[in-house]
Structure 1
Amino acid sequence: MRTTHSRGLSAGSPWSTHSLEVDEARIAGYESNIQVRLYRRAGVGSLPVVLYFHGGGFVGGSLDDAEFAARHFAEHLPVLVISVGYSLAPAHPFPAALEDAYRAACWAMDAAKTIGSDGKRLFAAGHCAGGHVANGLAFVARDRGDVRIGALALFSPMLDPSMTCLADERVVDSDISPRQCLASYRAYLPMASQRMHPYAAPLESARLAGLPPMFIATARNDVLHVEAETYAARLIGAGVPTQVMRYANATHERIAYDTQALQDAERFFECHLHRSVTSG
C-alpha cells in the first residue's frame, strides 16, 4: 500500500446504517498502478473480502460509479469491500483489466494484516464490464490455483463478445444498444482471436466445472439479459451452484443501484460467508 487516506462517510448519508471507514490506496497493476477504495465498518477486526468491479463497458466507469453498491455490501455484510479501479480500454486492452483484478486479489491476501482482511476468504462482484472482469477472475483463480474465490455476484454482466444471444432491441426497452456493446468489445478485445478466449468469452468455454457459486442478476430492459441467463443455464449444467434472477423494472445501468437486486446478492453472500466459515 503506497498511500492511504481516510475519506470517511459524510454526515447524513441517505444510505448509511453503519459508520464506515473508507480509505484509498494505489497498488501495482498489470501495466501500471491502479487505485483501490476500501470500505469497512468502523471498529471491526479481520474481515472476509468482497472485490467489487465497476461498470462502464471496459472503456469508462470509475470507483465513484461503484460507490453505491460497494457501500451497500460493506454496510450490510461483515466484509471488507475493495472496489478496484482496473485499467480501461482502448489504452489497456485484454487482459489488462483481468490481470489487474488478479493482482488486486493477490494484494488483498498479501496485505491482510495491514488492511484488516481475512485474505483466505475472497468473494467478488461486478456490474456490466465489471461483471465480465469478476467472472474472468474466477476462471483465473481456478486455473492458477493460488487464489480462491468463494462466490460471485454478477449484475447485468457482459459475457459474449460474439453477441449471439442478445435480446431483440425492438422489444426490449434497453438503455444499452448492441452497437454500444460491439464498440466496447472491440476496444477491449481488439484482436478477433481474443474474442474466443475462455476468460473473455465464457459462453464459448467448454470447461465451466470448478467455478465458484454464482448469483446473476439480469434486467428485463437490457439486451444483455439473454446471454447472462444462457450462461447461468450452462453453469447449472456444469454443476456450478447458480442463482439467476431477472428484475422486471430494472435496466442495464440501473441494476447496480437496484435495492432488491443488491439485497438478494447480499443474502446470497451471507449464505456463502457462513459456509466458508463452517468449511474452513
Structure 2
Amino acid sequence: MTLDPQVVAWRAARATAGAVPLYTQTLAEARAADLAAIRAGGGAVEPVAEVRDSQVPGPAGPLPVRVHRPAGDGPLPTLVWFFGGGWTLGSVDTADGICRRLVNLAGCQTVTVGYRLAPEHPFPAAVQDCHAALRHLATHPDEFRIDAGRLAVGGDSAGGNLAAAVTLLARADGGPRLAAQVLVYPNTDQRPGRRPAGDEDPLLFNRHSVDWYRGHYLADPADASHPLASPLLAEDLSGLPPALVVTAGHDPLRAEGERYAERLGGAGVPTETADYPGMVHGFFAMPGVFDAGRDAQDRVAAFLRAHLGLDPASVGTDRG
C-alpha cells in the first residue's frame, strides 16, 4: 500500500527537521511535542460562537472540560469528545482544533473531557473519568445547555478506545442513551503481539509507539484482556449506539479498528466505516497538512448530523 504524497512530503520534512519518536523522549518532552505537533498540523484556528472551560465531578476530584458551542441559546445536540494521546499525552488543548471544526461542520456542541493521564493514573482511571463525566453531563443537561436526548460520544486513537469503553458502561448502567459513537483509528485490542511486524519507521506512528503507550496505561499486563481496555474482547456488542469507525492504511491499529467495526455490524449495530488507505495514524488531527484529515472530519460531521437530527442547511452560519 502506497503512502499518500502528502504523507511522503510530511515525513521528509520531519526527517529534515531532525524529528525523533515520542517514545524516545521523557514524558514532559513528549507531552509538549505532541501539543506542538497538533497545533502545527491543525491549520487555521476556526472561530466558534462560544468556548468555555469548566469542570465536572470525577471519581478522584473535579475534571476539566472544554465546551465549544455554535450560535444559539437553546439546548443543543452534544458530542462528548475524548482526546487521543495513548492515555499518556493530550489534553483539552490538543482536541481544541478538532472540536472547533466539528462544531462548525456539524452544528452540534462539543464537550471535551480532561481525563487523568497514565502512567501517573493507569487503567482504569481514564475510563472511570470519561464515564463519570458523561453521566454528569447527561443528568445535568441544563448546566451545559445540552439536549440530553441527542447525545453522542467520540474520540481519536486512545480517545476512540475510551469512547468505545464508555458505550459498554452506558449500556450496562441502562444509560445514558447515546445516539451515536465516533471511533477514529481506535485502539480496541491491547493484547501484545496482535500487530504485524514491519511497521518500524521511527518517523511514523509504529508498533513501538503502541507498546510505549500500552506500557504506561496498563500497570498490570493482565488488564490487556479486560473489555474496558480492549473493547474488541467484549462478549456482546449488541445494543450499542450507531457507529462510525475511521481507519488509516498505514496504521498499526488499522486491523483492530476494522475488526471492531465488523463485530459491531455483526451484533446488529448500524455501523459505517471510512478507510483512508494512504494515510497514517494521527492524520485526523492534522487537516492543515492532509486533505484526508479535512475529508475525514467532514465525514464525521455528516454522520453526526444524520444521527443527532441536525439540519445541514443551518451549518456553518453565524460563527462568532
Given that 2:106 and 2:302 are in contact with CA atoms closer than 8 Å, whether structure 1 keeps it comes out as no
Q: Residue 253 of structure 2 aligns to which amino acid in structure 1?
A: L
Aligned to 2:55: 26
- Bigger relative contact order, structure 1 or 2 (CA pairs below 8 A, ≥6 apart): 2
Alignment of 1:272 onto 2:307: yes
Give the stretch that moved more between structures: 157-166 or 62-71. 157-166
Q: Give the Cα–Cα distance (whole angstroms) in 1 for the partners of residues 266 and 154 of structure 2.
A: 22
The two structures, once aligned, show a CA RMSD in angstroms of 2.1
- What residue is the counterpart of 1:142 in the other structure? 171
Query: What percentage of residue pairs aligned between the two structures are identical?
Result: 32
Equivalenced residue count is 262
Matched, 1:117 2:146: yes
Judge conservation of contact 2:89–2:117 (CA < 8 Å) in 1: yes
Give the gaps of 5 or more residues in structure 2: 1-42, 287-292, 311-320
Give the Cα–Cα distance (whole angstroms) in 1 for the partners of residues 118 and 168 of structure 2: 21
Please identify, of 247-256 and 126-135, the stretch whose mean Cα deviation from structure 2 is larger. Answer: 247-256
Q: Deviations over 1:54-100 (max 9, x none)?
A: 11101111111111211111112232100111110111111111111
Residue 202 of structure 1 corresponds to which residue in structure 2? Answer: 231
What TM-score do the two structures reach when normalised by structure 2?
A: 0.76
Q: Which structure's residues are more often helix, by fraction?
A: 2
SS of residue paired to 1:176: coil
Q: Which residue of 1 aligns with 2:117?
A: 88
Q: Give, in whole Å, the separation in 1 of the partners of 2:279 and 2:59.
A: 34
Bigger mean CA offset, 47-56 vs 156-165: 156-165
Provide the C-alpha distance between the structure 2 equivalents of 1:91 and 1:145, rounded to a whole number of angstroms. Answer: 31
What is the distance in 1 between the residues matched to 2:177 and 2:197? 37
Which AA in structure 2 matches 1:262? Q
Q: Deviations over 1:216-240 (max 9, x none)?
A: 1111121111111111111111111
SS of 1:42 mapped into structure 2? coil
Q: How does 1:118-197 map to 2 (within 5 A)?
A: 118-170=147-199, 175-197=204-226
Counterpart-to-counterpart distance in 1, 2:110 and 2:73: 13
Matched, 1:73 2:102: yes
Instruction: For residue 208 of structure 1, give the secondary structure of its aligned residue in structure 2.
Output: coil
- Confirm or deny: 8 A CA contact 2:200 2:208 kept in the other structure: no
Contact 1:128 1:155 in 2 (8 A): yes
Cα deviation for residue 35 of structure 1 reads 0.8
How far apart, in 2, do the equivalents of 1:29 and 1:86 lie?
Answer: 9
Q: Structure 1 residues 113-122 or 50-59, which shifts more? A: 113-122
Residue matched to 1:47: 76
Q: CA deviation at 1:167?
A: 4.2
User: Offset at 1:168?
Assistant: 4.1
Report the alpha carbon displacement of residue 173 of structure 1 after superposing the two structures with TM: 9.1
Unmatched tracts of structure 1, length 5 or more: 1-12, 276-280
Matched with 1:231 is 260
Q: Are 2:140 and 1:105 aligned?
A: no
Q: What residue is the counterpart of 1:6 in the other structure? A: none
Q: CA deviation at 1:172?
A: 8.3
Supply the distance in 2 between the matched residues of 1:227 and 1:43 (Cα, whole angstroms). 39
**In 1, are the aligned partners of 2:190 and 2:230 still within 8 Å (CA)?**
yes
TM-score, normalisation: structure 1: 0.87
1:174–1:252 Cα contact (<8 Å) kept: no
